[in-house]
Structure 1
Amino acid sequence: MASTNDPFQFQEFEEAGNLLEANRDATTISIEDDEIKPEKQRRAAAFSPDGEDEDPLASDDKTELLSGQQKSVPFWTFEYYQRLFDIETHHVKERIIGSMLPWPGKNFIHLYLRRNPDLYGPFWICTTLVFAIAISGNLANFLVHLGKPNYKYTPEFQKVTIAATAIFSYAWFVPLALWGFLLWRNNKIMNLVSYSFMEIVCVYGYSLAIYIPAVVLWILPYEWLRWCTIVVALCLSGSVLVMTFWPAVKDDHPKIIIAIMSAIVLLNVLLAVGCKAYFFSKPEQALPADISAATDVTKAPSPT
């Protein structure tokens, strides 16, 4: 029979049980606490490195991402333009659709750009429009003179250069002039809405997207179809520009409002009508000349 002083008896557990019964609010510490820590605490401990191993550049990037702000860099650096081409495909798609289907009362900059303009979409829209105008103009000219015995088709490559000069000048110099004018008026009237230069370039670039399908339809030698597509494209493109820049000038002098809105619409009309008049000739223009030339060739000389 075991003695009462048997060293193998665990009397300390009985004493601990008595203490817990006496004070049920007491806190106990187990040596297995490290093993039964919650999963979140272990993950937090695993991803909290020491201050010596932490990268300060990575910390700055995390801070920018969490705060939703972008670090401003000078415009002459490569990082400045790299950020303008860092955009997802679905964002470009949304902006193209938004420029073709303007909604009344909606501002294109506030609705789609959200202080994040890009040059990827405007650059490729302008480039596609340049080649669409040049190729469609050549095809339209070929269809007009198709079947005429004295006509020899020669591709007009100079149309690419002329179209590129017109399109990129409109997409860059007009926004530059408008940005300078709005900046000047904003310095005189402090409560005006201000846009950055890249935001204005982005709006003008995306507003040209509607002209790409319109130019393709100009291949068909029907003047009524060409003018109908011009009117539709002008209405859609002009609506995007007017609704976007109206908040920036609505609090200005009435004469300034009329002047700037008229200039925006007029330059858009001149671009569309000028491209149509220069690159696409009327199908009826060549007929009288050909008839007169044929009569001159077949006309016999009068006897003396």
Structure 2
Amino acid sequence: MSGYAIVDVDEDESTGDLQFKTFLPNSPAGPAEREVREVPYSPFNIAYYQVYFDVDTGTVLKRVVRALVPQGGFIEDACDGQVDLYGPFWTLTTLILILYTTSTLTSSLQAYRAGESVIANIPLLSTATSLIYIYGLGVPAALWAGTRWLGVAEWAPAEALGIYGYAMAAYVPVSLLCLIPYTIARWVFVGLGAAASGFFLITNILPVISQEHKWARLLVIAVGVLHAGVAIAMKILFYSYAVAGKVDGGDVTEPAERMVRALLQ
């Protein structure tokens, strides 16, 4: 039995409208010409959140580098008006792991020099996770809700999460530089990181806030003060390790460290 069949086609049926289309990702048309589907909003619709994670590693790295050179217009210029959530979550998680790794490394070196056994400090990991995720995810969510409730700004929650997430990228190189066992150098590095990320936050949040609103200036000040407080907390918790048997910072950081840890537990 033959595997071919003859199909009759009417002569008046034109094949001019028939076009061959490819749905391969490597199509010559490129990603810029893909059609974006309009997905109705629903907090339980997974397809709605897909667009916020539809980015590749190269795009995320470019946005991280762009965030390290703080200036305004991040969402419009670097993100082309469409911010992602993969990059911010990846940045925050990377920062948590680096904070824990560098702190554990310095503690292990101290224990080795003192002839003591090395013990994994798991509570330090939970402290880093609580501090970074609360500030990088909880604070922008609360800021977005507060600005919408007060009628100060009109922006999407993903934009707030994206700005805060990418702003924390500055602390990744700071964590590595703070391995240097000099107190003044660490304070300088933390200060520079806080200034760079804080400037990034202010220059990208300020344009979306109505300058004529009575709460606008107070919100900007609150953002700056809270950001500085988190930087100081990171310095106390993760960058005040012991050197040659002596805790860097002396008795000043020990009670402050206990207080910060108590707040995060």
* TM-score tier after normalising by the smaller chain length: 0.7 to 0.9
AA partner of residue 117 (structure 2): K
Q: Deviation digits for residues 270-293 of structure 1, max 9, x if unmatched?
A: 2221122012335469449xxxxx
> Which consecutive residues of structure 1, in runs of 5 or more, have no partner in the other structure?
1-41, 49-63, 187-191, 289-304
Please, what TM-score do these two structures have when normalized by structure 2?
Answer: 0.75
Q: How many residues align?
A: 223
Equivalent residue, structure 2, for 1:267: 226
Q: Tell me if the contact between 1:193 and 1:247 (Cα under 8 Å) persists in the aligned partners.
A: no
Does structure 1 retain, via aligned residues, the 8 Å contact 2:168–2:197? yes
* Residue 180 (1) aligns with residue 141 (2): no
Q: Does 1:96 align with 2:64?
A: yes
Cα 1:44–1:264 change in 2 (3 A) is: farther
Given candidates 19, 35, 40, the residue that maps to 1:47 is: 19
Aligned partners of 1:140 and 1:220 also within 8 Å: no
Looking at structure 2, the residues matched to 193 and 258 of structure 1 have their Cα atoms a distance apart, in angstroms, of 12
What's the CA shift string for 1:231-284, capped at 9, x where partnerless?
111111011110111122352345x23311111112211222112201233546
- Of 119, 125, 149, 1:160 maps to 125
Q: Kindly tell me: are residues 164 and 287 of structure 1, through their superposed partners in 2, closer, same or farther at Cα, counting changes over 3 Å?
A: closer
Q: Deviations over 1:13-45 (max 9, x none)?
A: xxxxxxxxxxxxxxxxxxxxxxxxxxxxx9844
Shift of 1:141: 2.3
Match of 1:22 in 2: none
Contact 2:39 2:47 in 1 (8 A): no
**CA separation of 1:228 and 1:146: change in aligned 2, threshold 3 A:** farther
Deviations 1:191-233 (A, max 9, x none): x651100110011111111111111122222112211111111
Cα distance between partner residues in 2 of 1:165 and 1:123: 14
Map of 1:230-241 to 2, 5 A cutoff?
Answer: 230-241=190-201
Q: Is the 8 A contact 2:83 2:159 kept in 1?
A: yes
Would you say the 8 A contact 2:39–2:48 is kept in 1? no
Structure 2: 5+ residue stretches without partners: 1-13, 21-32, 248-265
Aligned to 1:76: 44
Superposed displacement of residue 138, structure 1:
1.2
Q: Deviations over 1:94-146 (max 9, x none)?
A: 2111211023xx32222223442211111111111111001111112234455
Question: Which secondary structure state, in structure 2, belongs to the residue aligned with residue 230 of structure 1?
Answer: helix
Distance 1:77 1:45, change over 3 A: closer
- Establish whether residue 280 from structure 1 lines up as the match of residue 239 from structure 2: yes
Specify the code of the residue in structure 2 equivalent to 1:258. Answer: R
Question: How far does residue 179 in structure 1 lie from its aligned partner after superposition?
Answer: 0.5
- Structure 1 residues 98 and 148 mapped into 2: Cα distance closer, same or farther (>3 Å)? same
Larger radius of gyration: 1
Does residue 199 (structure 1) correspond to residue 159 (structure 2)? The answer is yes
Give the aligned residue type for 2:18.
Answer: A
SS at match of 1:221: coil
Q: How far apart, in 2, do the equivalents of 1:46 and 1:249 lie?
A: 50
